[in-house]
């Protein structure tokens, strides 16, 4: 029985048609992605690939009961209506196919990424499954409406229901370690999903050539920005539907994509702005969700 949802919250779009100096585009260069300024210093694009590989490793280790979803909408006008989720899906397929053919990997792929790739390939060999069989299976799919981390969690639950006709009894999230608190303390609590039924696997961005002191400052700055731009905001806007967080979501929706998940009706969004978030939670959500205890 499929009961475990594995989610990769996506953070950008891989641009598959770009090539630099004739090299194969496996997402190894920042130029192959649409990145925000703050995503360059820590080589975030390589962390995205690690998240995808680690999630695939988790799927292969828990094959019979798991589904893997890449979650992210069509957020980048520059590349047209291509979702973050689809770009991750097809990039991972390409990387696995490349490894399957035993071709040389880009020098930009660090040891952690290569170790994850090797582990995935070994697990595939044990299951006697090819890259095409893996990505054409029902085990890997996409969720293509999410505009922020709250959506990543809630909409992935909705998508899991569409695929399996049930809700997951366990969720595994693979993403940036510094975002763990927002998922477990705020997002899960806001929809009444038991946080002890969520496993969070964190992989951080990694700047190259930094001294220990500079690296420590880099991670301290990340946490400070996480507190300022996410935790403090979600603490006062549980569902991301007011002021600052809503404007962020709107700016990430250039193609006006809106979800039609049946599950969303259970949360009574139409009544949300008439209450405080806490009142809305007590009246419509607490103990009333299919996953509530």
CB neighbours of 201 closer than 8 A, spacing ≥ 6?
Answer: 54, 55, 58, 172, 173, 174, 175
Model pLDDT for residues 237-265, shown as the tens digit of each residue: 999 999 899 999 999 999 999 999 999 99
What is the domain partition of the chain in residue ranges?
4-285
Average pLDDT over residues 79-108: 96
> Cα(184)–Cα(174) distance, rounded to whole angstroms?
13
Spatial separation of the C-alpha atoms in residues 92 and 48, rounded to whole Å: 10
Whole-number average pLDDT of the chain: 97
**Residue-level pLDDT at 273:** 83
Please tell me the pTM assigned to this model: 0.97
Retrieve residue 76's tokens. 């980048």
Buried b (16+ CB within 10 A) or exposed e, 233-267: bbeebbbbeeeebeebbeebeeeebebebebeeeb
Q: How confident is the model at residue 172 (pLDDT cuts 50, 70, 90)?
A: very high
Q: What is the pLDDT confidence band of residue 2, given thresholds at 50, 70 and 90?
A: very high
């Amino acid at each position: 029985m499929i009961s475990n949802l594995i989610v990769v919250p996506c953070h950008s779009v891989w641009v598959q048609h770009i090539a630099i100096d004739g090299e194969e585009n496996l997402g190894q260069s920042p130029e192959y992605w649409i990145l925000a300024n703050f995503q360059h210093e820590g080589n975030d694009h390589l962390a995205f690939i690690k998240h995808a590989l680690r999630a695939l490793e988790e799927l292969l280790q828990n094959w019979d009961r798991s589904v893997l979803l890449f979650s992210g909408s069509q957020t980048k006008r520059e590349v047209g209506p291509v979702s973050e989720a689809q770009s991750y899906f097809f990039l991972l397929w390409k990387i696995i196919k490349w490894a399957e053919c035993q071709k040389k990997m880009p020098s930009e792929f660090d040891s952690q990424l290569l170790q994850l790739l090797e582990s995935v390939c070994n697990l595939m060999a044990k299951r006697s499954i090819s890259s095409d069989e893996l990505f054409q299976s029902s085990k890997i799919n996409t969720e293509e409406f999410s505009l922020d981390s709250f959506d990543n969690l809630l909409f992935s639950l909705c998508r899991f229901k569409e695929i399996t006709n049930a809700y997951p009894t366990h969720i595994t999230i693979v993403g940036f370690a510094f975002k763990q608190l927002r998922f477990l303390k705020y997002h899960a609590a806001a929809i009444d999903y038991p946080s002890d039924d969520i496993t969070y696997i964190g992989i951080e961005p990694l700047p190259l050539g930094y001294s220990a002191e500079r690296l420590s400052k880099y991670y301290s700055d990340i946490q400070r920005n996480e507190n300022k731009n996410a935790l403090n905001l979600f603490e006062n806007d549980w569902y991301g539907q007011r002021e600052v967080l809503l404007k962020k979501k709107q700016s990430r929706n250039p193609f006006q994509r809106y979800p039609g998940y049946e599950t969303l009706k259970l949360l009574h969004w139409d009544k949300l702005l008439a209450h405080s978030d806490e009142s809305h939670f007590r009246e419509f959500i607490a103990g009333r969700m299919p996953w509530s205890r």
